[in-house]
Amino acid sequence: RMPHLSMKKLFRDAVRDLLPRRILRRPKLGFNPPIGIWITRDLVSLVDRYLSDAAVRRTGVLEPAAVSALLGELREGRRDVSLKVWALLVTQAWLGTG
- DSSP collapsed to 3 states, 7-48: HHHHHHHHHCCCCCHHHHHCCCCCCCCCHHHHHHHHCHHHHH
> According to the model, what pLDDT value does residue 32 have?
86
Kindly tell me the sign of the dihedral angle through the C-alpha atoms of 35, 37, 40, 41. Answer: negative
> According to the model, what pLDDT value does residue 20 have?
92
pTM of the model: 0.69
> According to the model, what pLDDT value does residue 45 have?
95
Query: CA angle 35-50-94, nearest 5°?
Result: 80
> According to the model, what pLDDT value does residue 4 have?
67
User: In order along the chain (98 residues), what is the average pLDDT of each group of 10 residues?
Assistant: 72 90 86 91 94 94 96 92 95 84
> According to the model, what pLDDT value does residue 34 have?
93
Half-sphere exposure (Cβ direction) of 86: Cα atoms closer than 13 Å: 14
Q: In whole angstroms, give the CA distance from residue 13 to residue 47.
A: 44
> According to the model, what pLDDT value does residue 1 have?
62
> According to the model, what pLDDT value does residue 8 have?
78
